[in-house]
Amino acid sequence: MRVASPARAPDGMVVKPSGLPDPIAIDPSCWGVRRPQYGVENGFESTDGGRTFTKVGHEYSALLVSAQGYTTGIHYFELIDCTTEEKDVGFRIGCVPRLATVGLDLDSDILENHGIGVRILHGKDVQYGDRIGVLLELGASAEKAELKFFKNGVFLHEPVALPLTAPGRTPVYFAVAAAGRPGVQLQFALSPSPSMPDLQAYDVALASQQPPPGKTMAVTPQMIAIAQAHQGNTVEISSQLHEELRLRQGDAILFVDTGAPGKAQLWQFEIDAEDVLAQDLFYEHAELDLHTQATEVQLKYAFKFVALRPGTTVFKAGYGPPGATAWVQKLKVVVVPPSY
């Protein structure tokens, strides 16, 4: 019988003692291990009354939401990364709308529950002991919820916004979701007494993150290595493919699909194991779709992804507003050695 131990809080950080109220607690209905299909375990387990959480299973995403929802005001939620392994493992943090007439799917991601959030990689973006915070801002008559993201109280990610169909009447709940990774015990602790971060410093950091018009993106050695790793064949796919895809190391996926001009809606991607498959950020192509109508111009977009090493991962694609796009494609990708 498997028993998960509580997450070990970093030295110098005291996890909230039992008996004291949480600043923002996690809804107990989200805790526990479920078996969504074929007896596979999935969920977040807490053995200390909701102070720390451990991801169980790695076949499906699991969702945690706050016990309280919000319709107005400014609110701040913070977790401590208690994952001790150095391997990269991703999770998403953000918020979801929750109505009495619409249930949440606890075995799905934030985006698939009509929410919004950003993906963060333990091992790359954050490490053991880091605090990950989300600030939720809802105006009195706001038509959207705006989220800002922090690491140890300073800028982590640019803000994202969630449109609300019933402003002032749609409760918005903080949320975190993850699928996990084999061999990694993904763990979080609730921050015992988070302080409101410096929003002016956040705005200054945000301005420095946005390049002026005409400035090219920063090129890194990793970007060059990914592009140069494509030395094999190229397989063209669209979002309609849902069968397993097998590639050799050095092969590439050319994802081609249609979308509208502009940045209001974009093709967005996520790869569970980016050391197996990664996007070639140098490759960027758009052209007029020859089947387009004059009343609704459509472009054909193309993106490239390179198989870097043998392994298995999940490739996800979706089209919609930045940060708030549900995946329309979840494709299992198996990479084999080049001589296979």
Q: Give the integer Cα–Cα distance in Å for 234 and 237.
A: 10
pLDDT band, residue 309 (cuts 50/70/90): very high
Is residue 9, in this structure, part of any structural domain at all? Answer: no
Is residue 310, in this structure, part of any structural domain at all? Answer: yes
pLDDT band, residue 140 (cuts 50/70/90): low
Is residue 256, in this structure, part of any structural domain at all? Answer: yes
The pLDDT of 228-256, averaged and rounded, is 94
Task: Give the pLDDT score at 247.
Answer: 95
Is residue 135, in this structure, part of any structural domain at all? Answer: yes
The CA dihedral of 6, 10, 14, 16, to the nearest 10 degrees, is -40
Look at residue 280 and tell me whether its pLDDT is greater than 80: yes
The pLDDT of 141-151, averaged and rounded, is 86
Is residue 70, in this structure, part of any structural domain at all? Answer: yes
Task: Give the pLDDT score at 218.
Answer: 74
Task: Give the pLDDT score at 152.
Answer: 95
Q: Are residues 199 and 103 in the same domain?
A: yes
Which residues neighbour 13 within 8 Å (Cβ) at sequence distance 6 or greater? Answer: 80, 129, 189, 192
Place of tokens 């953000």: 94
Q: Which of 205, 237, 271 is the last residue of a domain?
A: 205
pTM listed for this prediction:
0.75
Q: Which of 147, 172, 205 is the last residue of a domain?
A: 205
Q: Are residues 199 and 247 in the same domain?
A: no
Categorise residue 215: left if φ over 0, alpha if ψ from -120 to 50, beta otherwise.
beta
State how many domains the chain has. Answer: 2
The enclosing domain of 266 has a CATH number of: 2.60.40.2020
Q: What is the token pair recorded at 28?
A: 């107990």
User: What secondary structure does DSSP assign to 176-199, as a single string?
Assistant: EEE--BTTB--EEEE-SSPPPP-H
Domain assignment of residue 281, given as a range: 221-336
Q: Are residues 195 and 295 in the same domain?
A: no
Closest CA to 134 of 109, 108, 168, 159: 159
pLDDT band, residue 168 (cuts 50/70/90): low
Q: Are residues 227 and 146 in the same domain?
A: no
Is residue 216, in this structure, part of any structural domain at all? Answer: no
Task: Give the pLDDT score at 3.
Answer: 46
Q: Are residues 75 and 133 in the same domain?
A: yes
Task: Give the pLDDT score at 114.
Answer: 86
The pLDDT of 186-199, averaged and rounded, is 90
Q: Are residues 201 and 245 in the same domain?
A: no
Task: Give the pLDDT score at 178.
Answer: 92
The length of the chain, given as a count of residues? 340
| Average model confidence (pLDDT) across the chain | 85
The enclosing domain of 182 has a CATH number of: 2.60.120.920
Q: Are residues 143 and 227 in the same domain?
A: no
- Cβ count within 10 A of residue 105: 11
Look at residue 319 and tell me whether its pLDDT is greater than 80: yes
Place of tokens 């977790």: 79
